[in-house]
Structure 1
Amino acid sequence: MSMLATVLLLWGLSLGPAAEAATFVDPRPDLWAEAGSLREPWADLTLVCRAQLDTSDFQLFKDGVAVGQVHLDEGATEWRFPLGAVSEGLQGLYRCCCALGSDRWTSLSNPVEVTGPGTLPAPKLSSSPVAWVTPGLTTTLLCRAGLLGVTFLLQREGDPQFLEVAEAPQANQAAFRVLRASNYTCSYRTHEGGTPSEPSAPVAVEDMAQPPAPRLSVGRDGEVAVLAPGEKFSLSCKAPLDGMEFQLRRGGQEERSGSRWGTYPDRINFELKAQDAGLYTCRYRLREEGAAWSPDSAPVELLLSDGSLPAPAISAQSSTPGLGRGTRVQLRCRAPGAGHRFALVQEDRSGRRVRGVQSPEGPEARFELRDLSPLDSGNYSCVYAGPAPAGSAPSAALDLRWDGPLPKPRLRALWSGKVRPGQDAALRCEKPVAHTSLELLAAGEVVASAYGPSEDLVLPYVGPQHAGNYNCRYRSRWPLVSELSDPVELQVAEP
């Protein structure tokens, strides 16, 4: 009798461990299939779930629903779920998870698709560390199958002569080094002379004479800073690769003052004292000998203001009698004379940031805030800078306040029709203003979240229990939160 008939069956289990695991950063287990004979892989199949840490509980899922759980008296790092001969009822998309204690589970493993006699599911192809080639960088393509011990085949689009072969007798993946740009696919075969699997989705590898430019920012991800002479500030340079050599530049020359530190492998922070106004850029290069520098980043501007010049005057004019959603506000900053560079500064509970800079011909700069939202609430002032380090004291503060909710986002599904059980359901939460995080809700409960600039939310490995209506919302600069979007219905196909 197969393991699926002997372990505790949990068909119809609610989100339980799978949903709970999504809220933790934890060791994800690995799942693969082993065949009794690679010449007939579906005649005798076993799924192997391997944990990164000792665990006493393993759980197996099929098409988004828990189908088996085993409890061990002593901890182990691996459990084998025998399927035996694969019948139609056993075909589907499997994943596993492991216990992290009495009430916590890991996130779900990678998926393994089980089909049936005469078919081999497509492998997955990915690039590392990036999807481009450049002098001095080794780019590899990793082809991964669900089945252990197969032979992998890499092909290049439009080149029937190009075929790389890699055997993996004790693994379920193989790495191929690529030296030229093209579209690549991979497949695999279970034995010599066997029919290859369906090809993977293609991966496009680009050719770049230089790596892409990094991104430089100051303060709260800003592009301009107004500082007093000698004031400390930090510049963050982020590259698309890990482990690069970074360089900070001012006026086209390397800036050697200050210190540097980093907690992430793809970026560096430069700590400096404000001594010289002007434009700062950064660049990076591979650590190999003779590697070329990347192009410079977009510049960050530093304005110095010692407060020795008279403060400007600030005034506001609104397009409507009261402040509300969609209102346009014009802020005017006026100095005693002409020839200055003005900066508009917003300050709220999150800190201070420059909203804009101008160098008008006359004594007045005009800044516009369009489509006013709660993100624009705060105290506004302006300063102007002359020949460094001369600069004005800040103007009197002008309070703009609108405490309504953030504008409602739009949620839309990135699929059509019904979602196949076991697949991921991706939704896009389109928001009209900047955000720091997104949340996907079902029946008022958060079921998925995302951080950073992406607008996509993923509900992983859906099953029948995931059917229903979903809304999204976004957050921006605590404690601001948006209204809920209109609902989107998720329908799950019959398994």
Structure 2
Amino acid sequence: MASALTILFLEPSYPKPSISLHPSAQVAPGGAVTIRCECRCAGARVLLSKAGDPDARRSMDPPRDVAAFPIRNVSRGDAGNYSCQYRTKWDPPVWSEPSDPVELVISEPGYPKPNISLHPSAGVAPGGAVTIWCECRCRGVRVLLSKAGDPDARRSMDPVGDVAEFPIRSVSRRDAGNYSCQYSTKWDPPIWSEPSDPVELVISELSFPKPSIFLSPSRRVILGGAVTVRCWGRHQNMRFLLYKVGNLNVLQDAEPAGDMAEFPIRNVSRRDAGSYSCQYSTKSDPPVWSELSDPVELVVAEPKPNISLHPSRRVALGRAVTIRCECRCREARFLLSKAGDPDTRHLMDPAGDVAEFPIRSVSRRNAGSYSCQYSIKSNPPIWSEPSDLVELVVADGTDPDGTQQPDPPMMEPEGEAAPPGRPDFTHANIARLVLGAGGLLVLGLILAEAYYSRPREVP
């Protein structure tokens, strides 16, 4: 026997719109207010509804994404909760979800705002007691207490006299905040007073001063190195917690015998970089906490590269030299710097682990001390330690061994410079040698002639 198959067709729906009251959710009788329904609803039909009043339904086809429903002469009967939704115009229509409700409150000018105060004090320790007083000429009315940003904290009561008291017998941290109160008539719909000015309840905890935090041996650590985070609390026999800024979880905890806790990081990785803070507390239940320490930043650096000059550190004017920066760092970015000259910084992204910065025609301004460093291509980049300095010496026509050399040509093709210490058999130098030899020969003939032509004594 074949089993029956049931097919369900699920109707699509649109997201709920937002609803608001302008200029205010609280209006005096005879005033004006506009209920605005905002959505991506151009070409749709918007329906406004009032809770418990089907006769107050209104609809419109807005040209854009806002449907405005004005009430130009507000009466007590307009008070209440409103919501809106929209639908397509085809048949059958597809409806959006209803908006969250918004309440229109009619406040009579004759009902002034009440006064609010905290007793015995606005500052209370956890576990203590406080009473919120709302004072008004409010016999026969209902008083509402509200906490800013917390709709679940609303409380109401019908006081016998002119003061409504809202006690909090065991204060906790979540009770902290700004409170206000107002009152209303008991008929339907009610008429509300203006809200009181806000009053702030502060939880004044017993606490210890914030600890000091520092990194040993240094805030800058080479990748794979070791560092210790030290937290000094000025109190003995405390529990210490270490946090990393941006991470709500505790990284490490310690209970040292003295007043300082040590949190070692024995093999530093890139993810260890960042800011750290710590705090301490008593070991009792509930604990009494200190404030958080100021943050301290751990900078993780790559190991420094090697730098060298080729073919030599001593180069004649016009000759070529290459500055090489080497590391175990494939796909890194290199930066070459010259000490005391920020304008000579050069960046390079080599394919391997060696970056070469050629100087094809050395001038006197190229002389100086150079260093390089590299960064891993991350966000943010992690830079290595700078290399040791290497000095480029520019010599006027001298070779690396100190022997005099003829002035070299101003420009030489790359790779054709004569190696240091070898004779330079260029055509110009051969011509100079021939001319020198000829000059010496002429000088010798002149001296010989002078010698043989001088007068001689007769024996």
TM-score normalised per structure 1: 0.29
* Larger relative helix fraction: 2
* Larger relative strand fraction: 1
